[in-house]
Amino acid sequence: MRHPVTLEWAEGVYEALASKDRQLARRLQRKVARWAETGAGDWRALRGEEGGSRLRDGKWRVLLFQAPSGIVYVVDVENRDRAYR
């Protein structure tokens, strides 16, 4: 994936972040922004998910989806215990 990428936050992701600790939500937003700009971070494509990937921050996962248009959508933010269900 080439960086910088165009990033869109899917509906519901802001609500998911709002339910988290404020400091955690800001940290995750910064991680996503940094990854979108530079590609830095613990990013990995998901097996069996065409266009699916995740960005890891400790026990938290930011789930991403790259559309054929090239836009990367942030689709969920979840604890690793629940992220892949």
Can you give the pLDDT at residue 85? 72
Where do the domains of the chain lie, and which CATH numbers do they carry? Answer: 7-83 (3.30.2310.20)
CA separation, residue 14 to residues 11, 29, 44, 76 (Å): 7, 10, 22, 9
Q: How many CB atoms lie within 10 A of CB 5?
A: 15
Q: Is the pLDDT of residue 2 over 90?
A: no
Written as six digits, the tokens of 40 are: 């830095």
Q: What is the pLDDT of residue 49?
A: 87
Measured CA to CA, the distance from residue 71 to residue 52 in angstroms comes to: 12
pLDDT in tens, 19-72: 999 999 999 999 999 999 999 999 999 999 899 999 999 999 999 999 999 999
